Chain A
């Protein structure tokens, strides 16, 4: 469809009334200065002279007349602020604004993000009066920035404080959000960005009839060198670090990387060379184990045109954080299988006690255990101040012989656990007073494995905490479970769930993503703070469970757990490198390729002209004025 001219101020077209005025002026007999001469005998007579007696004259077909009419028409048109609208044809326009990490690239000045915002504002200016514009911000968590407007100023305000994220785009969420926005009406989606969009999941597509168009942002020659990952491993009494460098461009690149201890002291500096579309590696060994975290910093890249994205020029890593082992109390009259399987669990310090002495020990508040394992002991004997509990047998219900065992598929606690060969001779039903249990392994007689999470109020002025319990409703001696490979795996899964490791579950949070940090069972609060600026902190819990941590700035964060003695020092790294954003070469998004929408014209879709047609009109007016001057001068 050929775009037609639209006017932003159509009321100004009343200036076209100047055209008949010009015609009238040309029809009026001009008053010229009177010159007295000896005789007019020799002077040629003119048309005007023949009509001198009348106040008007016949309209002459003179080039000056046409030029003046054209200039007046152009002036009126310029006052009406014409513009060529985009090829957007639907009334409802959804702008999918790419806010992924690659939009921070500086291959166009000042950034792709600024250019994309300007394009959206231009699009808003080019809309017809009957069109509305909605803006969806595309990143890991797509959200609606503006709905149903055609006010370009409002669009500017909405985009003013927005900045690109560091991660990729959740394309499926974006399409779902946009689809819900249009409510089944015909709409046109205009994607503004560099096209680094993952493909849609199978079967997901924009609504039928949706016209999808793309406004490419970015230079085709854009390149990027990224620090793809920094890893640390202990070697003897020192540390060895390895850095992966990714050259995501089409030209060879070289440069220098500095290794800093805790972001302040340079401990090493190395040069690298990376071939196009390849990775290079730097290794440092013999690094002192003292620093709690390291930072690799890309300080220079040659040629400079090989690196247009600076946000992934840093990488961080923390050495393995040992921490203190969790104390586990095994209350058992003697169970070799149980003692051995607990002994091989890392990070646990197991203390064994007889059931007779357990009540006294557990009653002491200073003897806080992260986990108490009760072998053939009744549930509920653990003091409130203690941690989690694992009950194995000792359930006082009715005995039954499970015939058919039904483990819940895909349950995390049953990961890699093969129950198919496990046989149970006798199990017990749970008492009716027990509540809140979630069955993990069921049978035709009753649950075999159950878990629950209790909210435990400690004191009126203290926040509540969570207590986890697991229950095997049969004695290990009444089954062949301890003889099966499933047993150590099951116990490892149970211990991991009952006693979250001191190591963060997410050793590094991907760029732009959120992660749930687990706290120790006895922790009363969970908080993270940025090592560069402790004032940048965030309370994750309470309330429990902790809410996901979404780091705003890449770097190293300290994880603080209140209520633990001693206070473990844990760090979590928010990565700057996003694999999906490292290659910043603009490309055609695959949005419509899998959809039923119209074919995507990836080249040039948006035809809006920044600032309207003013520059062209002014240039035309200038040329016409010069032409009029020339015609007038030649006529003399």
Chain B
């Protein structure tokens, strides 16, 4: 497959070409009835041979291996694994907490670029993709094309998107899942800076294994700088907290962050969710071409 069609702002042709060589790994076979590029567990008509089984009345005579009958004088049916289509769901955090960082380190932009890349890869593999924007307590499905030719609209929508407002992650994820059609993997793209992150992960984990959580944090969140006393204000809730960017406070913050990452990884592992924590300070190409393939999310 070669590069072609619309491009996301800032993408180079070489990067887009590199994406063409990637595919979204399937941790579980699709249960869809529609034909697709992903091998399903359903045995049937396909090109990939799976096994033989004795003929039983009612089987389709077209599936009988007549060559084996001539040799063995018994009727056997050839079985093939059918390649079924899957629907990939991307749940994109659109809350104000993602509106953080400047330039390429902007958390919201970083996740929108990953979303665009996943859509590009999925549609390039003739897979279906749905993008849900999580805001408030609900989820809004963005208009998603069925082929790359229609990606321009999605790309424009993602480019013009502005992260704002509050988010109840568990309610929004649950809302999105209820609206999902298909059993493809779910990609949750969020910073998980929400007290209800665990409930959200459990809602995703209830769909079965093979889902993905990409947790993204800006460099300032990974390593906040020293500073004076300040009144912190939560960008989503508006809640204020008196603190100072002193050594002791930063030590506490880092301990809290480490605990959060450890807890998320632990819960994800228990629920069969692949969790990757990303730093928006990393180049997007390294994330898509190295980190995610290394984590088995892309291949």
- List residues of chain A with CB under 8 Å of any chain B CB: 29-46, 48-49, 52, 635-636
Contacts and interface: CB of A to CB of B under 8 A. Distances in A.
B243 A42 contact: no
B160 interface: no
Contact of A38 (B107, B228, B253): B107
B105 to A, nearest CB: 13
Given A38-B235, A39-B234, A40-B234, A46 B107 contact: no
Contact of A33 (B96, B228, B236): B228
B242 A46 contact: yes
Interface string B68-100: 000000000000000000000000000011111
Given A42-B257, A46-B241, A636 B234 contact: no
Interface stretch (B17-25, B131-139, B150-158, B244-252): B244-252
A interface SS class = loop
A39 B193 contact: yes
Contacts of A52: 240, 242
Nearest to A57: B242
B50 interface: no
A34 B233 CA distance: 7
Given A33-B231, A35-B233, A40 B246 contact: no
Contacts of B253: 42-44
Nearest to B238: A36
Contacts of B194: 39, 41
A49 B232 CA distance: 10
Contacts of B286: none
Contacts, number: 99
Contacts of A636: 226, 228, 244, 246-247
Contacts of A635: 246
Contacts of A42: 193, 253, 256-257, 260
29 contacts: A29-B242, A30-B242, A32-B230, A32-B231, A34-B230, A34-B240, A35-B231, A35-B232, A35-B233, A36-B232, A37-B232, A38-B96, A38-B107, A39-B193, A40-B234, A40-B239, A40-B240, A40-B241, A41-B194, A41-B195, A41-B256, A42-B257, A43-B232, A43-B241, A43-B243, A44-B249, A46-B242, A49-B242, A635-B246
A44 B249 CA distance: 7
A57 to B, nearest CB: 9
A479 to B, nearest CB: 120
A42 B221 CA distance: 10
Interface residues of B, number: 36
B243 A44 contact: yes
Interface string B165-206: 000000000000000000000000001011100000000000
Contacts of B242: 29-30, 32, 46, 48-49, 52
A42 B233 CA distance: 12
A38 B246 contact: no
Contact of A39 (B97, B228, B252): B97
Given A32-B231, A43-B232, A636-B226, A38 B191 contact: yes
A40 B193 CA distance: 9
A38 B229 contact: no
Contacts of B234: 37-41
Contacts of B249: 43-44
B256 A38 contact: no
A37 B252 CA distance: 17
A635 B247 CA distance: 8
Nearest to B234: A40
Top-9 shortest CB links A-B: A39-B193, A38-B97, A48-B242, A42-B256, A44-B252, A49-B242, A35-B230, A38-B100, A32-B231
